[in-house]
Structure 1
């Protein structure tokens, strides 16, 4: 009696590898290439067949292997009846003689293929930065797969995988707790997308999580914004241009991606009505006089667009010129460990500081939180809260009001 088993030529390969049939009869073992290949992480070693859960196209591959196994077995039985052992050439010929109607293995799509498709769809929706962030997550997954020799796939994304992946991100990756949490969140969102479309029925991914450690956010005080406004700069120069873009963010709460998307049709009297690039939410932003002046110049070509990175560089230069140099403790958390260093405030000045400054100063001036959220497009208090940074000066000023301490009010700038 012959024994027939199927194996992979390279079980740990990161790319499709050949499926080989081993035929053992009369103490002779013959290797027969089936003409089929598969990604090792889609192969079920114990069953010697391709995984079909989450990979429907692999059913055709298994059908072909079933057919080949029957033909190899029949050939061996015929030779056994004659007291012979089939030669390697005879067995290998059977692969070429498979019936034409036998379904050929359909091309298989890998986990990476599905993930790339998801990022492509995200980019097509206009969410370019979100797609770029997702692509970064995929690069970490591929790197982890190579380093850990672990096949990352729908069914292998489990809580145990999550623990190991987190250690990889914190160790070799050197990422902060917040960044790790973001990568896991993107992975969960992709898995939810895959489940909704029937690519997989896996469920272990739902329990992937890592605790965020939110550091203090940085915003400018009203006095620091005034210092920027009062800087004497060459009209139309690169710093004057950068200041206009940044101050518009401080006056409206717009992200950089929305600042550079303003068109004439978005301005309706003293209101800016725009669909945000990141969340695709329609927001209505009242334009105070200073903001309307910049928007008018912007639409007339008086304010030029610059890249996000270059604007960040210019803002640091502006902050230094404006004397925004109070000591700032920069805190990061990695694996629950708190790390900090002290820098001059202008060194951390960036595009997003404008949006955070708008939120904080609006609240300090008495605008109700729900109204600020309506303007910024935040849907939940949890996401909005990360933008709130009540300054020390405001705490002192309000405390002095309540407890009637005029000397403190004077120090606080009342």
Structure 2
């Protein structure tokens, strides 16, 4: 059985072998069948299953285009590289999305192996270079401007207040959006994070205490993260967070580089990153901040925060070594 893989340089489909009828001694199952069965039975969250189903839908399209129906043991380095190329050249996905899809496919193949099916381990050698994070954060002055700005609608005020809490606590949307009175103990916030299940304890800043008192410790709820991100962009635009900032991404096979107004880059996660960055600039040791953010290594934490070279120099200037 011959399968076809697209070659960009020739715009044709050169052949490579699908050894479906050759590896008769291998114990396998059609990969797409295994993946569908696994997702139906596994105990992953609805959100996680949606992510896996998304990549599986792409893989099914890839198989149809190339006229293949691979067994678990037939997905090796060559086919995986072709699939990555499909995601980049045909689906034109961003590099971070391609990397995520690749990770999910690898996980499904690993689960197939755990289930007793043979696999071609060369697939694990295929990787995608992800874009470096061009982190957009808000400094303390910008957060104060957002906090004191008064010309907002009622719905914008709710989103603004929740965002300021994120900027003061480094909590994700999945955590700050479900804070209740039970999480406010003395002058700290205690919550077990949804993503990692880790208990974090965060001191309440002045702004946080004021917001909690404003709502009598019963914070309003936001309909969904998409609504939140849309409204906080509108708030930042009203406040005047409009300076141009760089935006660089790899989309498909092209590198996109342009300047956009800063408010367009702000979302729920900007609060978490702003908090981590501002804590670090305030002199709080990285290892202490990591107790809140959940980063396992200082290297990963330093990539996460939005620290410019100028800000890094300012932090170093305060060290006794430079006195």
TM-score normalised per structure 2: 0.82
Partner of residue 7, structure 2: none
In the alignment, what sits opposite 1:358? 275
Which has the larger Rg?
1
Choose the corresponding residue for 1:313, options 230, 241, 252. 230
**Helix, strand or coil at the partner of 2:304:** coil
Quote the Cα distance in structure 1 between the aligned partners of 2:129 and 2:219: 45
Q: 2:21 aligns with which of 42, 45, 48?
A: 45
Q: Distance in 2 between matches of 1:129 and 1:266?
A: 25
2:8 maps to none
How do 1:55-94 and structure 2 match up within 5 A?
55=29
The answer to whether the aligner puts 1:115 opposite 2:91 as a matched pair is no
Higher RCO by CA contacts (8 Å cutoff, separation 6 or greater):
2
Give the C-alpha shift of residue 137 in structure 1.
1.2
Structure 2 counterpart of 1:185, from 93, 103, 121: 103
Q: Distance in 1 between matches of 2:112 and 2:210?
A: 47
What's the CA shift string for 1:81-129, capped at 9, x where partnerless?
xxxxxxxxxxxxxxxxxxxxxxxxxxxxx5334324554566x45x443
d(CA) in 2 for partners of 1:261, 1:326: 32
Equivalent position to 1:212, from 107, 130, 135: 130
TM-score scaled by structure 1?
0.66
Q: Does 1:242 align with 2:166?
A: no
Q: How far did 1:201 drift?
A: 4.4
| Cα shift at 1:336 | 6.8
SS in 2 for 1:171: helix
Decide whether the 8 Å contact of 2:247 with 2:259 is kept in 1: yes
Deviation at 1:366, TM superposition (A): 0.8
Q: Deviations over 1:44-101 (max 9, x none)?
A: 4358x7x76034xxxxxxxxxxxxxxxxxxxxxxxxxxxxxxxxxxxxxxxxxxxxxx
Selected match of 2:172 from 255, 267, 275? 255
Deviations, residues 181-221 of structure 1 (Å, cap 9, x unaligned): 22111222222233233244442332221112214111111
How many positions carry a matched residue from both structures? 306
Instruction: Check whether the contact 2:146–2:239 (CA below 8 A) recurs between aligned residues.
Output: yes
The alpha carbon displacement at 1:400 in A equals 7.0
Question: Taking structure 1 as reference, are residues 176 and 319 closer, same or farther at Cα in structure 2, changes over 3 Å only?
Answer: same
In structure 2, C-alpha distance between the alignment counterparts of 1:401 and 1:381, rounded to whole Å: 20
Do the aligned partners of 2:180 and 2:219 also contact (CA within 8 Å) in 1?
Answer: no
Whether the aligned pair in 2 keeps the contact of 1:297 and 1:303 (CA below 8 Å) is no
CA 1:161–1:43 in structure 2 vs 1: closer, same or farther (change >3 Å)? closer
What is the RMSD computed on CA atoms of the aligned residues? 3.1
Taking structure 1 as reference, are residues 296 and 201 closer, same or farther at Cα in structure 2, changes over 3 Å only? farther
1:263–1:299 CA contact under 8 A, matched in 2: no
Quickly say closer, same or farther: Cα 1:286–1:152, change in 2 above 3 A: farther
Task: Mark the CA change 1:202 to 1:332 in structure 2 (over 3 Å): closer, same or farther.
Answer: same
- Call closer, same or farther: CA 1:272–1:128 in 2, change over 3 Å: farther
Match of 1:326 in 2: 243
Q: Cα–Cα, structure 1 residues 398 and 254, in superposed 2: closer, same or farther, change >3 Å?
A: closer
Structure 1 match to 2:9: none
Deviation of residue 277 (structure 1)? 1.9
For residue 164 of structure 2, give the secondary structure of its aligned residue in structure 1. helix
Deviation at 1:232, TM superposition (A): 0.8
Distance apart, 1:401 and its partner CA: 6.1
Residues in 2 aligned to 1:131 and 1:147: alpha-carbon distance in whole angstroms: 24
Give SS of 1:332's match.
strand
Shift of 1:308: 0.7
Structure 2 distance, partners of 1:263, 1:119, is: 33
Counterpart of 1:368 (choices 274, 285, 288) is 285
